[in-house]
Structure 1
């Protein structure tokens, strides 16, 4: 690991030396002014040197992955058994002044419920106790608000809020949330959905509230700061639209302003052996911790399948099947989602990439996943340094097997990338200055560096491996076979400069190749997008 630390220090020193001081000042400014993108400057091709030596210093042990067996049916039942049995208390009240409902009545959003309820907005409040759906139905006792439409099947026509100390339990039941009447679930306490169905329901059609367009209201689920959310063996379908915290299934911390008063801990959730389909976002979280998404199916969701977001940490996304996402990625973590694991998932037939790490998401392990037949990359890292990709299989994706964009110190170990539409692995420098990105909130470094060790890069349309001018790249024990190009296996740019030495070291000597700048010279770098 010493060599990795040395290279990191070298890259940092290089950055300091080649960037103008005023650009560095702009990039680090924190005075409320506009922060500019980092200058698109990197070493030139002639600045590089090559070193051939033993690959032992690139050794990394197999990553430690959390034991998923703890997220089981028995464990969730034990959590439920630990909740105190006390008398259920359920009322129908106005939505105003209830923490879990505040986001939906503030800033003009109350109009949505005034129109749908034809009155001052009301909600069903689960105030206290360990409460079943039968308890809710019996205590509401008004068919205008909740109706039993079959054995174990209910429809609610108001929002339903679970308050902080209350527990709501669904078991072997179906809960329909009326689209026309503006129903949704907001959990501020504990909620268990076990072997049940939670469905957005279009009463006019007497059927599911299937997606029509992003601005159209559909029912949704949100678990707030301090809440505990357990979804086991349950189907959640036809939920969510494009409004804050209304995306489908969401767990989110309260706003900084609200939480200064409420003092809630991060929200938690276990989603186990369940199915999520036709949700605007299959999963979304904000400032969540210790979330487990294990052994689920995410199919035919609209924008994203699984989308943990801003400042969440210690997430386990394991053994899920994610496919058919219409617009974007199957699995994406974005904006400083750190110290998490994406392991053992299958992500395929998605509108863009199979798996993505985005916007300074770091110290994550992406291991043993299979990502194939996606319309983007198999795995994409965007402005996300210090991550490990281990033992993944990337096959027949429209673009690259693995893309590493503006991301440094990325370890790419024992991955197999075959039959992808461009490169097996692509290291990319991209100038984002012309975008609408907030460079203060979503800062990045114009730099790419990686260690590529083990695995197989075979029969990718453009070639096995390419990188724009890197801060460094190390290559060792990588199989490169079955070229699809008429010119055979070939490299471009910096790698092309040393192509013969690279092949000789890898094939004939069984040694590692280290390529990095030997001088500090600044220059513009451009390469065609793919």
Structure 2
């Protein structure tokens, strides 16, 4: 309890300074006064909520560049064409590209049989080296799976690299490990600056990845980020897989309905998961996203109507989860975002998003930030604790933010910090153990309908 208050009431003199008040009216005024005092004392003596269970941040396990594949290989039973006559394959020496124009579920061994084996060869049982690009056109699909292909090494290094691209066709990866490979160094290509091998689906293609590993792929060149789905009509999913040391862990452009579930994205050069530019109706669920070079998960530039749910996002080198530039009508629910180098959740120039029932704690900057021209966002039922700066920030030109039923405790500066000229709605929040509970610039800090207590320098402050 911050203060102890002694209150003495003389009911016989109550109100006489302004003239005699009838006894019934005096009684009514006395009752209202007592109820108000009781509410104040209860708020001042409120008991802090139970401690928030926190996850430890495990050490970032190193990946051996010479032996990057670490998971148990899952044996699969791919369905393949009945015979080689079902396949139509061409090779163009000038572009060093194998083009698959006909054939469903064509395996790497079958492709090797159809071309010169120096282009696709088995270097040891279950390990294959790809020395040419593969292009899969509409009406054909490539199936990369164990036990035939436990590890696919894509030649890469010294500015030379290979790519697997579906242009209207299909790529299915199941139970395999795919990496870049520098034969001269006898390890993966760990230098992305001069180009590096990658996977890409575009122009109405389908790419699915299950129970697999993708490591050390991609560069900063457009379409070459490592693992990408691009252009309208392209679709697919990635599930139960590990993606590490790519340029972007995952990138999409104008994609509808991509599903990203139960994966681990870590140590990617920039973002872990980056749906971009008019990607929508995405499901990003139950992933573990950590130690990436910038944000963990970011939806950027008109990414809408998507669900980011039950992910564990930590130790990324900037924000944990970001909605940026008109990424509207998204649900961010049930995630844990912690120990990131900046904010746990950042909503920037994006509107009509719901940030609900997340645990956002121990981030180096603030917990949840609604900023720039973000409008009509709702922050509901979150646990926002132990962040080094503020619990929740409503700043810049953000407007009409609803902040309700959150527990906001023991943040380093303010529980809620408001520096915006437009309206906001604060109600039913529990705000405790911060330096100041609620701070507002330009508007009165209102603690009505919130429990604000045990803040070391005061409940509210207006500036």
When normalised by structure 2's length, the TM-score is 0.76
Question: SS in structure 2 opposite 1:241?
Answer: coil
Cα distance in 1 for partners of 2:328, 2:421 equals 19
Deviation at 1:507, TM superposition (A): 3.4
Residue 195 of structure 2 corresponds to residue 217 of structure 1? yes
1:206 corresponds, among 172, 186, 209, to 186
**2:48 alignment partner in structure 1:** none
Question: SS in structure 1 opposite 2:449?
Answer: helix
Question: SS in structure 2 opposite 1:305?
Answer: coil
**2:117 alignment partner in structure 1:** 142
**2:355 alignment partner in structure 1:** 389
Deviation string, structure 1 residues 324-344 (Cα, Å, up to 9, x no partner): 102x10000000001101001
Paired residues for 1:305-316 under 5 Å = 305-316=272-283
Work out which of the two has the higher radius of gyration on C-alpha atoms and give 1 or 2. 2
Paired residues for 1:45-56 under 5 Å = none
Residue 271 of structure 2 corresponds to residue 293 of structure 1? no
**2:449 alignment partner in structure 1:** 505
Deviation at 1:412, TM superposition (A): 0.5
2:161 corresponds, among 182, 188, 194, to 182
Deviation string, structure 1 residues 401-429 (Cα, Å, up to 9, x no partner): 00111201001110111111211110121
**1:171 alignment partner in structure 2:** 145
Residue 302 of structure 2 corresponds to residue 351 of structure 1? no
**1:493 alignment partner in structure 2:** 441
Question: SS in structure 2 opposite 1:313?
Answer: coil
Deviation at 1:85, TM superposition (A): 6.3
Residue 428 of structure 2 corresponds to residue 454 of structure 1? no
Equivalent residue pairs, number: 369
Deviation string, structure 1 residues 124-150 (Cα, Å, up to 9, x no partner): 11221121111011111331x222111
When normalised by structure 1's length, the TM-score is 0.67
Q: Which runs of 5+ in 2 are unaligned?
A: 1-75, 453-462
**2:388 alignment partner in structure 1:** 421
**1:434 alignment partner in structure 2:** none
Q: 1:177 to 1:88 in 2, by over 3 A?
A: farther
Question: SS in structure 1 opposite 2:184?
Answer: helix
Deviation string, structure 1 residues 253-299 (Cα, Å, up to 9, x no partner): 1xxxxxxxxxxx52101100001000000000100011000000001
Cα distance in 1 for partners of 2:344, 2:239 equals 25
Question: SS in structure 2 opposite 1:505?
Answer: coil
Contact 2:438–2:447 (CA under 8 A) maintained in structure 1: no
Cα distance in 1 for partners of 2:369, 2:81 equals 50
Q: 1:427 to 1:182 in 2, by over 3 A?
A: same
Contact 1:200–1:218 (CA under 8 A) maintained in structure 2: yes
Deviation at 1:123, TM superposition (A): 0.4
Contact 1:395–1:418 (CA under 8 A) maintained in structure 2: yes
Question: SS in structure 2 opposite 1:134?
Answer: helix
Deviation at 1:504, TM superposition (A): 4.2
Deviation string, structure 1 residues 491-526 (Cα, Å, up to 9, x no partner): 23145x33xxx3343239xxxxxxxxxxxxxxxxxx
Q: 1:279 to 1:270 in 2, by over 3 A?
A: same
Deviation at 1:376, TM superposition (A): 1.1
**1:52 alignment partner in structure 2:** none
Residue 214 of structure 2 corresponds to residue 236 of structure 1? yes
2:94 corresponds, among 109, 116, 120, to 120
Cα distance in 1 for partners of 2:433, 2:412 equals 10
Deviation string, structure 1 residues 458-496 (Cα, Å, up to 9, x no partner): 11111110121242100111111112x3xx43423145x
Question: SS in structure 2 opposite 1:293?
Answer: strand
Q: 1:244 to 1:85 in 2, by over 3 A?
A: farther
Paired residues for 1:401-412 under 5 Å = 401-406=367-372, 407-412=374-379
Deviates more, 1:145-154 or 1:329-338: 145-154
Deviation at 1:241, TM superposition (A): 0.5
Cα distance in 2 for partners of 1:244, 1:314 equals 23
Deviation at 1:122, TM superposition (A): 2.1
Question: SS in structure 2 opposite 1:137?
Answer: helix
Deviation string, structure 1 residues 68-127 (Cα, Å, up to 9, x no partner): xxxxxxxxx99x86x986744253433xxxxxxxxxxxxxxxxxxxxxxxx722201122
After superposition, the CA RMSD in angstroms is: 2.0
**2:334 alignment partner in structure 1:** 368
Deviation at 1:236, TM superposition (A): 0.5
Q: 1:141 to 1:426 in 2, by over 3 A?
A: same
